[in-house]
Structure 1
Amino acid sequence: PQHLVITLVNEFANMKLEDIAKKTVGKRIFVGWPFLQEAFVQAISDELFRYELANLNVQRQDVRNTQTIKNPQVIKNPHRQDVLEHWRRKADKLEQNYSKRYGTITGTVEVIAHVLMLKGLRRLSNGALVKEYANANEEMDYAIQTTVNSVECEDPRFEEKPATQIAEEFPIHTQVFFLGSPYYGCPGLVVKNAKRNLAVKLIIDINNSSMEPDFGKKIANDFDSRVKYYPSFQVAKRLSMSGLTLSKLTASLYVICKSTDQRVNLGLNLKFEAKKQKVLGYTRKSRDSGWEYSEKAIQILAQYKEKFPEFIQALEEKHKDEIYSAEDFYPKEEAVSKVHAIKEWLRTVEVRDFEKVSLDAEQLDKEAIAKIEQAAVEFTNKKFFKRLVVRKVPRDVLLKPAHSSTRLQGQKFSLGDRVVFVQDSGNVPIAAKGTVVGIERNNIDVVFDASFMSGSTLGDRCSPYRGMTVPGSALLNLTDMQFIDHSRTNHSNGIIGSRSI
């Protein structure tokens, strides 16, 4: 096979750093050739100096409409001593990465572009769509010769759009969600649109028009107080075993029966270091103390030691890392039967049915979720709805389902929060309410108040047809109202009529 090595032409090779700064800082470029991505340049640097925006937060306000700051104020700063030592290593690493990964010769990296990557689109209060870049502390570094000023075809998914007229964006009968108080999150329909505001017919719960029930937070708090975790050194001391033995028992521990040529896992499988997983309600990993274990995990470990003390003692005396033979623990004539006895006991404590989740996930267990389901049913049975027409509503107090992905970015959730599904597509009915029972990055596990056709059991953690994992931007947090319009906390003057339904 033939191999091809590409040599990049550095368009900035004969330019002074000051001239490069004037051309790039405060402007958008495309980085990471050959897989170009849009970014905003907040600084460039060489071995001695860094040219950057004088006030990034203020000047980036201009980027909303043009992705380019008009007349940027760029300042020149010499590197600190630690940066001087680190800069060349960083530049060499960028050059080596292109050489080894892409088969591309960039030439010596003399200038680095410090950029903020394009994250997506954000919708402004006037309805305009503008590009949103990463925060200033999320800076990425690229060799200047691997960047370009423009591309032939830009990604249409990130095309900015100007503000539209209210009547065009909110035609009559448009489905919306209200973001004002006291009806935050209530679904409704546009019944009239004018040049500056709208009239909306809302559907509200008479018994809980101003706030959601807090049963989810109470149950989540009870879960936190019920499930306490202890660092591994405390657990090892409490069980009178070494930390190494504790680590082996709580992971996968394979033992080979030579006479039958079988490999048996005698570990409790409470942690999965390589997969970065933990077992819900039994283990977790903290940055400070490493692996931690709950009381339930400690009880199982204590039972293990009580039922098979000779196995634990032999494990304490062995220093192998991975695989053992049954004869390492028991005499040859009874080794197989003893190992199978341990295996059968492990089945009785149901260690194979533990709920495995990622390390950064937060989740309630089955017991807590069952309580939430019951509380939700009782709450739903007490609901009594009526229609309410509110007038003189500004456009930014209304959320269209199609706008949720660009308006609800960065929304935060906690276990037990009440939420409403605000998208008009997907497997969940629009305006369905529920409670947060799991959080993993931007994926939210929700147990909804009522069952629906496409609902799941969330991995056998809730009742059939009650659960669903959805992106955070598909939900409006009703407990932590992060998009409420505080300037219009009372629309009573705009109420022109109500009717029970």
Structure 2
Amino acid sequence: MPGFPSLQTLKHTAKLLQHGVNVFNSESKNETMVISIVDQFKDMKTIDIAREKVGERIFVGWPFLQEGKVQAISDEQFRYELINGQINKIPHKQEISEKWRRKADKFEQDNSKRYGTIIGKVNVFAHVLVLKGMKQEQDGALVREFFEEEQEYAIQITVDSVECEDSRYEEKPAAPLAEEFPLYTEIFYLGNNHYGCPGRVSSNTEENLAVKAIIDKNNLNEPEFGSEVAKAFAARIKYSPSFAVAKRLNISGLTLSKLTASLHVICKSNSNEQKSTDQRVNLGLNLKFEAKKQKVLGYTRKAKIKDKDGWEYSEKAIQILAEYKEKFPEFIQGLENKHDKEEIYTAEDFYPKEEAVSKINAIKDWLKTVEVRDFEKVPLEAEQLDKEAIQEIEKAADEFLKNMVIDQEEFKKLARYQLLKPSHASTLLQNQKFNLGDRVVFVKDSGNVPIASKGTIVGIEKNNIDVVFDCTFMGGSTLGDR
């Protein structure tokens, strides 16, 4: 079955051994079925491997095989590349050679101890561009697309070919226009004016196409209100590095770090019972979450500061910190005096015993007025507009919809690349780059979002975007009440 993992794609033996395989952070105490790979390249010279492999198709990641393309072959001393049709031998610098050997030894060790696979000493690496997926060229041909960054694999656990090819990754020539775009096919128009508007094919020939598209007579192009709101949002929220914030508030960096994270204080009960009912209170502002790799939208972010990752704070965050210090100076001073203490404090660390609990409760009550528990937590790499900015976008979108005048227009003599079929979205649009405030249209013919729905990007994460659509529909969300 295409893509199904199989050990049989490489020659190997298997044996029960006391091997100490470490899967869950501790070595196994019992016997493990250990696989030993038969190295088919053991007697080959590196230059011969390079002549055979560089520029060729290969399968890596055994036994979960992925297709790739060999860019180069390397050993401890040289890298072999294909230049102008010839294999060139490029010597390593000493530090590269040492790094190569460390990486090779680690690769062998990881396979042995983590995966229970003895691959033998790694003497040759294949430098591979792994298959990313398929992309459609402007002429309509479907071709393989590879990641740009090389990955290194020990040559003995690579596979030349597979018996069952995966039909999803077969390259195909362009189909004739009339076959690819029959009459009345639903499309999206990609011309200069009215870019992204939906329509249908009205005529087709061997050379070109014509479509009837649904347009807005009042606007040749999409309005820029989303980008304008995003720019205003960026200008509104300025960030300062932690050392500057600490200096401005006249507190230490460690105190700032504790105040902006979780800060637990134990209030001891005054009960006369033997068993204590101590209460644990979080008096931190919870503006940053190092372990979870999260920040609070509009208050904190992580950025490069002098070549190191450091926290930065917005003016809103600084104002809350300043108010905290002004209202509870004894508590802040207590933190300053107890830098050597562990993360959990008691109320008596800051106040006399007779008033400690009431003072801590006063801080807790103040934090409720600040509503720190309602702060919006997002991944560190995320870019998102806040609630206020999104409300501005919604108002602008409503105004835009009121002024729309829907009409139909025919566009003639169109080339293939000026149209987008919904079924081609995954092979044509996979490399798009988005910015906050961009106007977008949903072009896929499946999913919860109605096809041809327009909206504005209000959030960007690694592999996802948040969109506020112009019109409501079943299956949408409120984006965490933003």
Structure 2 length-normalised TM: 0.89
Deviations 1:414-439 (A, max 9, x none): 11111111111111111111111111
Query: In structure 2, what is the equivalent of residue 346 of structure 1?
Result: 367
Q: 2: distance between equivalents of 1:403 and 1:414?
A: 23
Shift of the alpha carbon at 1:334?
Answer: 2.2
Please give the secondary structure, in 1, of the residue aligned with 2:41: coil
Tell me, in whole angstroms, the C-alpha distance in 2 between the residues paired with 1:93 and 1:2.
23
Please, which of 347, 350, 372 is the counterpart of residue 326 of structure 1? 347
2:55 is the alignment partner of 1:35 = no
Match of 1:187 in 2: 198
Structure 1 segment 249-328 matched on structure 2, within 5 A: 249-259=259-269, 260-288=277-305, 290-319=310-339, 320-328=341-349
Shift of 1:223: 0.8
Say whether 1:170 aligns with 2:181. yes
* Cα RMSD, aligned residues only: 1.4
Measure, in 1, the Cα distance between the counterparts of 2:179 and 2:329: 75
After TM superposition, the structure 1 stretch with the greater mean CA deviation from structure 2, 153-162 or 73-82, is 153-162
Alpha-carbon distance between aligned partners in 2 of 1:251 and 1:164, rounded to the nearest angstrom: 58
Number of equivalent positions:
442
1:89 equivalent in structure 2? 102
| Structure 1 residue 41, shift from structure 2 partner | 0.6
Query: What whole-Å deviation, never above 9, does each CA across 1:316-374 have from its counterpart, x for those lacking one?
Result: 11122421112211222222222222111111101000011111111111111101100
Residue of structure 2 equivalent to 1:101: 114
Residue type matched to 1:404 in 2?
A: A
Aligned-residue offset at 1:263: 1.4
Looking at structure 1, the residues matched to 168 and 365 of structure 2 have their Cα atoms a distance apart, in angstroms, of 55
1:439 aligns with 2:460: yes
Aligned to 1:225: 235
Deviation of the 1:442 alpha carbon: 2.5
Deviation of 1:452 (Å): 1.6
Q: Indicate conservation of the 8 Å contact 2:442/2:453, yes or no.
A: yes
2:213 paired residue number: 202
Q: Which residue of 1 aligns with 2:247?
A: 237
Contact 2:241 2:305 (8 Å CA) reproduced: no
2:287 aligned partner, one-letter code: L
Identical counterparts, % of pairs? 69
1:74 maps to 87
Verify the 8 A CA contact 2:194 2:222 in the aligned structure 1.
Answer: no
1:421 aligned residue:
442
Matched, 1:395 2:416: yes
Amino acid corresponding to residue 281 of structure 2 in structure 1: V
Distance in 2 (alpha carbons) for counterparts of 1:73 and 1:443: 43
Equivalent position amino acid for 2:436 in 1: L
From 142, 148, 152, give the equivalent of 1:129: 142
**In structure 1, the residue corresponding to 2:108 is in which secondary structure?**
helix
Aligned to 2:43: 14
**2-side partners of 1:253 and 1:153: how far apart?**
57
Is 1:450 matched with 2:450?
A: no
Cα distance in 2 for residues equivalent to 1:423 and 1:182: 21
CA distance in structure 1 between the partners assigned to 2:166 and 2:312 by the alignment: 45
| Gap regions ≥5 residues in structure 1 | 56-71, 462-501
Deviation at 1:34, TM superposition (A): 2.1
Amino acid at match of 2:74: S
1:149 equivalent among 136, 154, 160: 160
- 8 A Cα contact 2:458 2:467, kept in partner: yes
Q: Give, in whole Å, the separation in 1 of the partners of 2:31 and 2:259.
A: 51
Partner residue in 2 for 1:482: none
Equivalent pair of 2:442/2:454 in contact (CA under 8 Å):
yes
Read off the aligned partner of 2:161 and give its amino acid letter: S
What residue identity is the alignment partner of 1:365?
D
Deviates more, 1:309-318 or 1:72-81: 72-81
Q: CA deviation at 1:158?
A: 2.5
Tell me what 2:55 maps to. 26
TM-score by length of structure 1 reads 0.86
Alignment of 1:213 onto 2:223 = yes
